[in-house]
Chains A and B, each alone.
Chain A
């Protein structure tokens, strides 16, 4: 159908792009994770498993990883709790305002991540909007400190940032449910609540899985929110990687952590895709 030359022209650039900017860096990272750093701060190209041994032996690394997963899980949960009802309302009940509301959900995605993170800083800080308000109405006598520089702040900010990412696939899944299935369910005597749990929700599961995966994976690898709002107790695994590649100058260890995360994330994506397939029926 298409000429050989045409096929070459359209396939080579993207393949080259993936090779140069994805495969090569991963290969390098893979190699680095088996090298080490000498006392003179020089990377020594001798193959060893020391980095992985260190990851297993020092609790700070897997504790931070677990904490990151715990933060990511909460972000995932809250994004779903916010994103699902929103998507459901928009898809089924928004009527003529659907497009407008949809745009309003999307617009925050165009605002810089940093701007949104700083916005939360001004809201949650000890002199911030929230504390000032709480003191003004005499709910507290002194600023609440747990609001900023805490895992709470990180979860809140990441939930704000990633809710649209859970909203979108759920909304798409809900939009794809033929409305006559809902009518059929009512026709057969199912109340709106029964219809939701027996028809609408099961058919939206692929969207929920995709949204949950987005929120979890993106939050797990996030380093800006913990950096800006997390404080010492809100440190996540990526912050450690950043410092290992930066100030600490231990690229091999950083590469080893990154590789572990990569394996974790890819397995998650794999499982989530399998589950999504299992719940797709069209």
Chain B
């Protein structure tokens, strides 16, 4: 591709980014079923935004609304000062990489990539040159003359990417594009996709149900649950400062502690710690790796508890142990792997690592 590489996000900086697409109060109902409720979200130039959610959370519907394959029941989409949601899909400066790639089976790899430029009536020379560059970029130049059925799944994936990017869209939508690949290829593609995005400087909206994938690739994650946004934040923030109990549980492992706060001190079973929150019942999330198995030395000001190991799961470098504490509370703890099976352990965590989260209401 011959696009001039725009400034990478690191250089241009978070603050100088302008909103590319704004999604305003979008809702969608299918019959009686409300799939999306009141979604408002801004996507910045050059950003890699992941819409993360379980199946049925409405993430694909949201993507299809942006692409124009579905229309929102209410709400608006804006690209700059232009209203997007009134345009048919073929007039939107947005391209999609489909989950099953949707390559045209009767056209060669090359003709698939040239499709968008040809329907736009670009001159032949330009088409040829841009297609060659795009195929080069995704390392598919050697397969240009083949039909899609003759190349592997991972290669079809690259062709689908080239076919979308060759049109230089303002925004690229990707609908779980890696879900059909096996684990190794998938990890490799995650890295490639991310660096490709940096290189072309086009904003990506990436839909996935895989929280690990979302963490690795995204600048920001929008976590969708039953048609509502739970939290929109950078991977680090969403992991370290989950807004709700659902977010805390969906992203990584966590211990959810329901505490009773009186005079700024939270109590949960045998545990008690200073929490800077108003009195009443509150929910706290403590990541397993924030809980430390302590020996002779103990952290000053930490919360201590003693418990019995009831389960030990080996994960390679680390292991997850479940500890039943005094008072029956069970904590999950991530520790460095040790060869000795443990029976009794002393645990501690810093009060600051108990993050207050909102309780996610039950939803159907």
- Given the interface contacts A194-B119, A281-B106, does A186 sit within 8 Å of B89 by beta carbon? yes
Q: Smallest distance from the beta carbon of B17 to chain A beta carbons, Å?
A: 25
- Interchain CB contact (< 8 A) of A180 among B68, B88, B100: B100
CB neighbours of B68 from chain A (8 A): 186-187
Q: Smallest distance from the beta carbon of B316 to chain A beta carbons, Å?
A: 39
- Given the interface contacts A184-B98, A187-B67, does A199 sit within 8 Å of B104 by beta carbon? yes
| Cβ contact within 8 Å between B115 and A190 | yes
Verify if B278 is at the interface (C-beta below 8 Å from A). Answer: no
- Given the interface contacts A199-B104, A281-B149, does A184 sit within 8 Å of B119 by beta carbon? no
Most buried by A among B88, B96, B104, B164: B104
CB neighbours of B98 from chain A (8 A): 180, 183-184
| Cβ contact within 8 Å between A281 and B105 | yes
| Cβ contact within 8 Å between A190 and B90 | yes
Name the residue on A nearest B100 (C-beta): A180
How long is the Cα–Cα vector from A193 to B94 in the complex, in angstroms? 20
Consensus secondary structure, chain A interface: helix
CB neighbours of A184 from chain B (8 A): 96, 98, 102-104
CB neighbours of A190 from chain B (8 A): 90, 115-116, 119
Name the residue on A nearest B147 (C-beta): A281
How long is the Cα–Cα vector from A202 to B212 in the complex, in angstroms? 41
Verify if B95 is at the interface (C-beta below 8 Å from A). Answer: yes
Verify if A279 is at the interface (C-beta below 8 Å from B). Answer: yes
| Cβ contact within 8 Å between A203 and B102 | no
Q: Smallest distance from the beta carbon of A151 to chain B beta carbons, Å?
A: 37
Verify if B69 is at the interface (C-beta below 8 Å from A). Answer: yes
- CB contact list, A168-218 vs B, under 8 A: 178, 180-181, 183-192, 194-195, 198-199, 202-203
Verify if B340 is at the interface (C-beta below 8 Å from A). Answer: no
Verify if A141 is at the interface (C-beta below 8 Å from B). Answer: no
Name the residue on A nearest B94 (C-beta): A187
- CB contact list, B147-171 vs A, under 8 A: 147, 149, 163-164, 167
Verify if A282 is at the interface (C-beta below 8 Å from B). Answer: yes
CB neighbours of B89 from chain A (8 A): 183, 186-187
CB neighbours of A181 from chain B (8 A): 102, 104-105
Name the residue on B nearest A190 (C-beta): B119
| Cβ contact within 8 Å between A188 and B167 | yes
Name the residue on B nearest A202 (C-beta): B106
Contact with B along A67-108 (1 / 0, CB 8 A): 000000000000000000000000000000000000000000
Name the residue on A nearest B160 (C-beta): A184
Contact with B along A245-282 (1 / 0, CB 8 A): 00000000000000000000000000000000001011
- Interchain CB contact (< 8 A) of A189 among B103, B104, B105, B116: B116
Contact with A along B309-352 (1 / 0, CB 8 A): 00000000000000000000000000000000000000000000
How long is the Cα–Cα vector from A119 to B127 in the complex, in angstroms? 57
| Cβ contact within 8 Å between A183 and B115 | no
How long is the Cα–Cα vector from A198 to B104 in the complex, in angstroms? 10
- Given the interface contacts A180-B100, A188-B119, A190-B119, does A282 sit within 8 Å of B105 by beta carbon? yes
Q: Smallest distance from the beta carbon of B103 to chain A beta carbons, Å?
A: 8
Q: Smallest distance from the beta carbon of A270 to chain B beta carbons, Å?
A: 23
CB neighbours of B300 from chain A (8 A): none
Q: Smallest distance from the beta carbon of B153 to chain A beta carbons, Å?
A: 16
CB neighbours of A279 from chain B (8 A): 106
| Cβ contact within 8 Å between B120 and A189 | yes
| Cβ contact within 8 Å between A187 and B90 | yes
How long is the Cα–Cα vector from A199 to B91 in the complex, in angstroms? 18
Name the residue on B nearest A281 (C-beta): B105
Additional A-B contacts beyond A189-B116, A191-B119, A199-B104 (8; CB < 8 A): A181-B105, A186-B68, A186-B89, A187-B67, A187-B95, A188-B95, A188-B115, A202-B106
Shortest 3 CB-CB contacts between residues of A and residues of B: A281-B105, A188-B116, A184-B102
Interface residues of B (CB under 8 A from A): 67-69, 88-91, 94-96, 98, 100, 102-106, 115-116, 119-120, 147, 149, 163-164, 167
> What are 5 inter-chain pairs, A to B, with CB distance below 8 A?
A180-B102, A185-B104, A187-B68, A281-B105, A281-B149
